[in-house]
């Protein structure tokens, strides 16, 4: 009785996101809208899979997948957690990349939660709750407080968008030269200086994102190859998001989303 009350108190005080039971997950799973998903321990052999009877079917996840909001020590193959995801199959993208693809709307982690900390992680702990993600997971960078208004694109998403875009697509990156921001465009496997007009991504970021050519953007628009002026209709940042010259507030940071901390310190301006 006392242990139950103590668990309830700790959950109220520290619990951030509850896990769901494996029984509930299987009751909801229909492999149409709800899927039970895991990660192969050797990620290079296939990444994600979903459970279909006794089989593990390899899939590619796009959208708000668990790894967008959880560090690898919770979402990765070493931890071995399962997730119930809500989403839908993207048949066109599946045909394009040659692998079944699911666009993820939301996810729940399935109990018991396992955490596979890296050896050098200063925040690793021996005892951790197995029924919920807690404030410690947030504070140590295991569960990101993300801003979902913008998400970096994976390689498969990038090539799919390029193939379907109504306008020409280009990859641009930036650097500071003598304190002046210089944009470059990837053309014929070379980076060439370019001037940007239209919907310019630089208004949303500071030097943490824009310096040293560390981040790349996929833009659609029109390039004047004589003046090297690029008019941008729309843009997306490409995975992985890299933060340069700023001391991290946690051991892990999201590479898919910007976090609330990025907004607080001016790294990202919505």
Q: What is the pLDDT of residues 200-221, one digit of tens each?
A: 999 999 999 999 999 999 999 9
Q: In this predicted structure, what is the pLDDT of residue 43?
A: 54
pLDDT at 199 over 50: yes
At residue 178, does pLDDT exceed 70?
yes
Cβ neighbors of 51 (< 8 A, separation 6 or more) are: 29, 35, 36, 37, 38, 57
User: What pLDDT is attached to residue 11?
Assistant: 47
Please state whether 262 falls in left (phi above 0), alpha (psi between -120 and 50) or beta.
Answer: alpha
d(CA 41, CA 38): 9
Instruction: Check residue 46 and give its pLDDT.
Output: 53
Q: What's the mean pLDDT in 238-260?
A: 89
Asked if 166 and 154 touch (Cβ cutoff 8 Å), the reply is no
pLDDT(8) > 50: no
pLDDT score of 120 more than 80: no
Token duo for residue 54: 């006794």
pLDDT, residue 127, reads: 87
pLDDT winner (highest mean) among 44-48, 78-82, 107-111 = 107-111
What does the pLDDT average to over 47-64? 95
* Residue 9 scores a pLDDT above 80: no
**Please, which pLDDT band fits residue 246 given cuts at 50, 70 and 90?**
confident
What gap in Å lies between CA 11 and CA 6, rounded to an integer? 8
Handedness of CA 251, 257, 263, 267 (dihedral sign): positive
- Output the average pLDDT for the chain: 91
Quote the pLDDT of residue 6. 42
Adjacent-strand bridge partners of 214:
none
Q: Is the dihedral of CA 19, 22, 27, 32 positive or negative?
A: positive
For residues 164-190, give the mean pLDDT. 96
pLDDT band at 4 (very low <50, low <70, confident <90, very high): very low
């Amino acid at each position: 009785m006392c242990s139950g009350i103590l668990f309830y108190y700790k959950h109220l005080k520290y619990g951030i996101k509850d896990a769901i039971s494996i029984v509930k997950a299987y009751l909801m799973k229909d492999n149409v809208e709800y899927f039970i998903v895991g990660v192969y321990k050797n990620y290079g052999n296939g990444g994600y899979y979903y459970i279909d009877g006794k089989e593990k079917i390899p899939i590619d996840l796009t959208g708000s997948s668990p790894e967008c909001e959880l560090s690898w020590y919770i979402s990765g193959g070493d931890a071995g957690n399962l997730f119930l995801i809500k989403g839908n199959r993207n048949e066109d993208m599946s045909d394009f990349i040659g692998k079944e693809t699911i666009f993820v709307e939301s996810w729940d982690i399935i109990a018991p939660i396992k955490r596979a900390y890296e050896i050098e992680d200063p925040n690793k702990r021996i005892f951790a709750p197995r029924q919920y993600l807690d404030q410690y997971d947030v504070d140590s960078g295991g569960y990101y407080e993300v801003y979902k208004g913008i998400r970096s694109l994976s390689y498969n998403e990038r090539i799919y968008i390029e193939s379907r875009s109504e306008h020409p697509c280009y990859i641009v990156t930036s650097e500071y030269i003598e304190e002046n921001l210089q944009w470059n465009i990837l053309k014929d496997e070379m980076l060439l200086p370019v001037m940007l007009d239209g919907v310019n991504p630089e208004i949303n970021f500071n030097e943490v994102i824009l310096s040293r050519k560390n981040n790349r953007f996929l833009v659609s628009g029109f390039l004047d190859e004589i003046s090297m002026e690029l008019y941008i209709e729309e843009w997306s940042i490409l995975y992985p998001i890299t933060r340069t010259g700023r001391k991290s507030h946690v051991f892990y940071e999201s590479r898919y989303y910007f976090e609330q901390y990025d907004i607080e310190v001016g790294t990202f301006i919505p």
